[in-house]
Structure 1
C-alpha cells in the first residue's frame, strides 16, 4: 500500500496580538497504511508530528470529538478545528474542511476501513 501525503494551509490560532492575522501556514497531512493503518499524522511548522486516529478526524468533521490529547470539531459549514495538547502547551489549528475531507478520501482509497 502507498503512503498518502497532502499539504494543506491552516491557521494557527493564538492569543498573541489579535489585530494582525499571521496568515495561513503549511501543514503536512500523512497516512502510512503499512506503519499504522488506523492513524493519521499532522505535521505543524516547527513542531513534531502529531499522530491520532483516522476515525477521530472523520468524526470531528461532523461533531465534536476527543481522544486523549486531541480534539477535533467542525467550525461552521466550511472549517474544522484540531486542538493538540502536550506538556509544552496547546496548539489550535483551523483548517478548511474540504482539505481534510480530500485527505481522508485519499486515505480510504489507500486502505479501506476493515470491518
Structure 2
C-alpha cells in the first residue's frame, strides 16, 4: 500500500496532466516506473535526479509514504483547490484524480 500526498500544481496550457498507478512497490508516474522496493521498513529514501517526488519516501508498517507533484489542467479544474494537500491510500491500480473538477458542460 502507498499513502500518496499530492502536491497540486496548475500546469501550463496544453501541458499533460499527471497520471499514476501502483503495482506492489512500483509507482508509475506519467509512464515512468519507479521501483520503491529498496526503501527499508522503518527507513526512508531521498530521491535523486529527475523525479516527480516532493521530499523523501518513507516505509512504516509496510506502507510507503510519499509526496508526489501532481500537475493538472487549470481549464478543467475548479479555481480553488483544497488548502490541505490530498492524501490518497492506494493498494493497487490507478491513483484517483485528486483534483476538484468543474462540472461537465451540458451536451447540446
TM-score, normalised relative to structure 2: 0.32
Larger radius of gyration: 2
The structure whose residues are more often strand, as a share, is 1
